[in-house]
Chains A and B, each alone.
Chain A
Amino acid sequence: MEQPLVTVNGASWDLVGVAPPATALDWLRSIGLTGAKEGCAEGECGACSVLLARPGIEAPTEWTAVNACLVPAAALAGQEVVTAEGLGEPDALHPVQRELAVRGGSQCGYCTPGFVCSMAAEYYRPGRCESGVFDHHALSGNLCRCTGYRPIVEAAEALGAPAAGDHLSFRTTAPPPEVTPVRVPGFARPATLAEALDLLGEPGAVPLAGATDLGVEANLRASRPGLLVAIDHLTELRTLEVTADSVEIGAALSLTEIERRLAGAVPLLDEVFPQFASRLIRNGATIGGNLGTASPIGDLPPALLALDASVVLVSAAGERVVPLVEYFTGYRETVLRPGELIASVRVPLPLAPLTAFHKIAKRRFDDISSVAVAFAIEIVDGVVARAAIGLGGIAATPIRATEAEQLLVGHPWTGATVVEAGAWLAASGTPIDDHRASADFRRAMMENALFKLYTETVAS
């Protein structure tokens, strides 16, 4: 095993002795870098945003913004990190920094370095200049309490192309850093899936991918697992294959990677992605992690249920395939056995032609569902030929709306059918009152979702 080193703003640092619960943010601040800051410690505010050199899709390497507050410091081993300090100096500002500074994009300045990093990731994104569009979602995981955002958006939109000699731009043309195996107390990064499965057999071991959930557990609820086994880099879990029969998505692919690699192949997921947390989170969060954590309010499960997906589970004993509808067994409980990992998610083809994802939340970017409803429907000659409806936020697990589906199938796609099925939808699950929404509202939203979908199909 190599000596764990990390490159920060071009300089090499020793990571020896750095172990959980120290986060990347803690460690960066401990070496005197003050740019990344803690605003919430749960990946919601982006004040800790930093850039990582990650494997790219349109370029060998892409600068990827992530929440440093969630990632264990030990996971930085072998990585290349750039913070706001590494982008520019006060008297030699980076273009992103200059635009923010001169346009009044900072007031108290506390969130600013995080915005700088998130904006810089988008600045360097291959294809941004060609498209001429700065994707606002790049900033969806950064909160500012002072400015009201207008000058920040203006700064983003004023950005031109990186200059010819820009070294960070140049860096993207070379491969990303090689993965370094690591073993420190409480953290391991195995080189192969087999090693990972082996490590997961150790007491207290839990798999770790983007840390977007485990990091929150560690920071907010002081969860201290015995061993974090980093699986995010395992090539066996990072494949994406589209065949005639199915789309198979590797569990360790981040949502950002899936979105870009699918490139529209699964339209329902394209509706989910922009509503799934924020870009910062999607850069870390994996499809396997979202199913592994088995939250009843996760955004992917309702969509994947509607898509009739299955999960491929792997363990030392071999593989098994479980339909997603049978995967969730209780509140945050699944059929996963100790030592077993999600290897991939399989979505059968052909897809239903009419799909929609309705997420009800207080805020449009970066919020958690009160209710999520996903539809996959096929209408043939005015009659519903197939219908799959996934629901989130209304029971201890994500569920299928079986009764409503049965009521739809074989019936004409009309207002009357929709009203009747909507009543069944409203009766699905066991919604509760909480700080996100009342049970009555949740029921009303389920009922209305189908009617809204119907209205939109009729209007178009």
Chain B
Amino acid sequence: MYELEKNNDNTMTLNMGPHHPSTHGVLRFILEMDGEIILSVKPDVGYLHRSIEKIGERVTYPAFMPYTDRVDYVAAANCNVGYALAVEKLMGIETPERAQYLRVIVSELNRIISHLLMTGVLAMDLGAYTPFLHAVREREKINDIFEILCGARLTYNLATIGGMPFDIKETTIRKCLEILEGLKKFLKEFDDLVTNNAIFISRLANIGVIDKETAKAFMLSGPNLRAAGAHWDLRKNETYFLYDRFKFDIAVGSGKAGTLGDSYDRFSVRMKEIETSISILEQAFKSLPSGEVQAKLPKTLKPPKGEVYVRTESARGELGYYIISDGTAKASRIKIRTGSFAAISILDKIGRGLMLSDLVAFMASLDLIAPEIDR
């Protein structure tokens, strides 16, 4: 499939992956190297392809929900509520207010989980193993909350079409607020441990600089785009789930360590987003309305003929569901747009000229998740 042209006799073709600890899943790169300098990066995707989009044509609308967990297992709740929103828009269902608040809560909790894992793994890829354990320790506490809410720790399947299958109790809210208080302390600790560490900064600053125009040209979205300096957050710019009721700022890259849009910016944008998520969660818990969590629906869901595209802000960028309905109980086509797939396309453009060890740092800062690339 890939035929590499050899520029001169001194280059070497290097296979990175598919089983490589820093490729974050089963992902393969064909690198052309001149010594330790990378001449070209060719990502070879498809090792984790599970044909989720095709499965969507074979199962009914509610039965596709557990498969959306597997699109991005680190931020499964975001995928769940995104799909639920898409089908609701297709059918014109009004979701109860409390269910929408619950969706905001689970997506923000999941965003924290995902960013904690990303920051930990980034430090691990640079050779520091301790921060990863610290981050995972905090992540486990929020996983416990999810376990109380929906009964699962990773693949939640926590949304139904038209609402949420569970309700949040007062004790869970209290436990949640406690954990968020602990998380704030942890973030300060994490700053001492990683963010302000001189070695960490010099490994990430000025590495893999993506400017705003390049990021837009390669359709980057989410934290990767915001790190390049673009003020674009679907939660603000294209409000869904009553996000307009919460006050929060979009975290944008500042270039304080080196250049705007470098790997350190992508890291610090995610650290800022954890704080943003905490503040959104506190507002949501304060103003949680009472009422139903599930809209009344017919027994078999048969959306009218038509198509819909709904995009939501997942932890890894824009997560879009494009559904074509032919009027039956099964979708005619489901297309999923994910942030990681766009992010991997930029590797060759930015990766040229980097050193091999810097490519690992650059890749980790893009927050690639292999199952989200392949689906």
Binding between chains A and B: no
Q: Which residues of A contact B (CB under 8 A)?
A: none
